[in-house]
């Protein structure tokens, strides 16, 4: 049987990019070279999509005034979101820096055109939202390529999609899926911020895997392998 695995160094690079990807909030002022940004966008555009519909677009936002407007909206929504927490947890939430809209090199809005290539798309007959899921795959590709280039990415989700659509003049059939901040950073933390600050615990892999149905655990050998993966 032909071995289709990548060479060891390539495989290790893929796993390293995945393991070392972080949601970044603080950025340096250094600009991104056009070739680096193009490489990152190319990786995003190479994502798989349901029925090969490729529903995404990438809106690169450099304009400071536009970013300032979006930042103002996000700030308002941040304080609204804080009302969902109480006491010390609310104060802890407000202490976090949750976006880098103004200080990152560029912002990118990844959108999903829900009408691209018409109403009949292979794979969407019973699962209409697979175009959105496909767009999320493009976001992940972008994120991993950026990490490989030493570029930080932060996903800003504290915003109203309709408001963002208005800021960017999106047509009614195009929805914003991800608003991302991209730029160089001082360093990438060893672990995700919300893990190290104790906001939420990390779910072990061995508790997230079932076999042949919900709640059905794997055999002893596979269980041990999953535990080893948790500790590696």
- DSSP string covering the chain, please? ----PPPHHHHHHHHHHHHH--B-----SPPPPHHHHHHHHHHHHT---GGG---EEEEEE--HHHHHHHHHHHHHHHHHHHTTS-HHHHHHHHHS----TTTSSEEEEEEEETTTT-S--TT-SS-TTHHHHHHHHHHHHHHHHHHHTT-EEEEE--S-HHHHHHHHT--TTEEEEEEEEEE--S---SS-HHHHTTSSPPPPGGGT--SSSTT----HHHHHHHHHHHH-
pLDDT number for residue 113: 97
Q: Domains of the chain (ranges plus CATH)?
A: 20-200 (3.40.109.10), 202-232 (no CATH)
pLDDT number for residue 29: 87
| pTM exceeds cut of 0.75 | yes
Residues paired with 152 in a beta bridge? 183
The rounded distance, in Å, linking the Cα atoms of 103 and 25 is: 9
The rounded distance, in Å, linking the Cα atoms of 37 and 23 is: 18
Tell me the mean pLDDT in the region 191-220.
Answer: 94
pLDDT number for residue 232: 85
Q: What percent of the chain has pLDDT over 90?
A: 97
pLDDT number for residue 1: 86
The rounded distance, in Å, linking the Cα atoms of 27 and 156 is: 14
User: Token pair 């970013």 is at which residue?
Assistant: 67
Tell me the mean pLDDT in the region 42-63.
Answer: 97
pLDDT in tens, 139-170: 999 999 999 999 999 999 999 999 999 999 99
For residues 41-63, b (16+ Cβ closer than 10 Å) or e, as one string? bebbeebebbbebbbbbbeebee
pLDDT in tens, 93-120: 999 999 999 999 999 999 999 999 988 9
pLDDT number for residue 131: 97
For the chain, what is the mean pLDDT? 96
* pLDDT for residue 21 is more than 90: yes
Tell me the mean pLDDT in the region 76-83.
Answer: 94
pLDDT number for residue 57: 98
């Amino acid at each position: 049987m032909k071995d289709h695995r990548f060479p060891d160094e390539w495989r290790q690079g893929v796993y390293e990019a995945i393991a070392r990807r972080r949601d970044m909030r603080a950025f340096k002022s250094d600009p991104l070279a056009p070739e680096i940004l193009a490489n990152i966008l190319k990786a995003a555009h190479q994502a798989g999509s349901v029925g090969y519909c490729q529903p995404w677009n990438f809106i690169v936002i450099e304009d400071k005034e536009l970013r300032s407007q979006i930042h103002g909206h996000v700030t308002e929504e941040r304080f609204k979101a804080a009302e969902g927490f109480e006491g010390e947890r609310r104060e802890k939430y407000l202490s976090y820096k949750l976006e880098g809209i103004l200080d990152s090199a560029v912002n990118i809005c990844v959108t999903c055109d829900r009408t691209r290539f018409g109403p009949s798309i292979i794979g969407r007959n019973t699962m209409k939202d697979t175009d959105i899921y496909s767009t999320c795959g493009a976001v992940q590709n972008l994120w991993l390529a950026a990490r490989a280039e030493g570029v930080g990415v932060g996903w800003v989700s504290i915003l109203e999609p309709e408001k963002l659509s208005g800021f960017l003049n999106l047509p009614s059939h195009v929805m914003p899926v991800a608003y991302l901040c991209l730029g160089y950073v001082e360093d990438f933390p060893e672990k995700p911020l919300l893990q190290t600050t104790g906001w939420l615990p990390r779910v072990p892999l061995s508790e997230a895997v079932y076999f042949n149905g919900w709640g059905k655990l794997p055999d002893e050998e596979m269980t041990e392998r999953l535990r080893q993966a948790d500790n590696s």
